[in-house]
Amino acid sequence: MALLVSKLLVSKLILSAEELAAIGVVAVESTYSEHVVEGIIWDLCRLKEAQGKFLTDRMPLDKKLDLMGDLWKPQLNAHNLAGLTRLIAGLKEANNERNIIIHGYWNQPDSLKRLSLKWLAANVELPPRESPVATKRRLKSDPLQFSAAKIKSTAGHISDLTGKLWDFAADSGIRNW
């Protein structure tokens, strides 16, 4: 049975090739975004990459965003501080979506739950696909859910916010790392 599952790749039964590719785009865009945030932190602390990576390496993105904001706030006027606060809030929201997309449990559509793995291995034709949803469990509250139809928009949102952060940093005198 385990051999059968490894040959089938459950992800390909649940998500389309386009949805799987979009998940990869979310991963790459969020990695790039985190790199930009780290570069800004290192510059604000006047650290070279060799030093800065020890400061931020094991820190989750939400904490990096908080640190970046705390380090940057004293240098900004009220208008720019409001802009930075909006960017940080947007990046945190996008990071939450990223976490659901990448770490969430993508549901197995009901039509597939009724089918045995042996049947799936023997048949090329699958029943009509249902729209998959990712679910991320939470300890003290209801689970979060995310529709596969929104994956591409999250990747675009991350990219857009990263570009705005990059421009904001350049306008604020943060060096081009």
Q: What is d(CA 156, CA 119) in angstroms, rounded to the nearest whole number? A: 38
Average per-residue pLDDT in the chain? Answer: 86
Using CA atoms, how far apart are residues 68 and 71, in angstroms rounded to an integer?
5
- Parallel/antiparallel/unpaired status of strands 133-136 and 144-147: antiparallel
Q: Per-residue pLDDT for 177 more than 60?
A: no
Contact 100, 134 (CB under 8 A): yes
pLDDT in tens, 118-168: 565 565 555 555 678 888 888 898 888 888 888 999 999 999 999 999 999
Kindly state the DSSP code that residue 114 receives in the 8-state scheme. Answer: T
Asked if pLDDT for residue 59 goes beyond 80, the answer is yes
Phi and psi at 146, nearest 5°, equal: -145, 125
Closest CA to 168 of 37, 47, 59, 34: 37
Domain boundaries, the chain: 14-112+131-171
Q: Which residues contact 84 (CB under 8 A, 6 or more apart)?
A: 69, 72, 73, 76, 168
Q: Please give the residue that has the higher pLDDT: either 87 or 16.
A: 87
